């Protein structure tokens, strides 16, 4: 799954640790999500969307999705 998490985080000048604290996860989890090594659970994806105040679909997209 592709995501815009790193871009969204950078727009707010947050470190991975800052985002991890806000989401109540480890910095390693944030890094794994950003690099595509880990897909977040649905509850975590909703939490991320709520934090950035945008729809989940505006953050995460399927890597198999064709445009």
More confident residue, 11 or 67: 11
Long-range contact pairs involving 5-8 (C-beta distance under 8 Å, separation at least 24) = 5/30, 5/33, 5/34, 5/48, 5/59, 6/34, 8/52, 8/54, 8/59
**Per-residue pLDDT tens digits for 21-66:** 999 999 999 999 999 999 999 999 999 999 999 999 999 998 776 5
In CATH terms, 2-60 corresponds, of 1.10.260.40, 3.40.50.2300, 1.20.1630.10, 3.30.56.10, to: 1.10.260.40
Q: Which pTM does this prediction carry?
A: 0.88
List CB contacts of 45: < 8 A, sequence separation 6 or more: 56, 59, 60
């Amino acid at each position: 799954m592709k995501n815009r998490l790193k871009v969204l985080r950078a727009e707010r000048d947050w470190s991975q640790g800052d985002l991890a604290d806000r989401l109540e996860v480890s910095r390693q989890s944030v890094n794994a999500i950003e690099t595509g090594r880990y897909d977040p659970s649905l509850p975590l994806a909703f939490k991320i969307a709520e934090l950035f105040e945008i729809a989940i679909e505006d953050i995460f997209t399927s890597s198999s999705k064709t445009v």
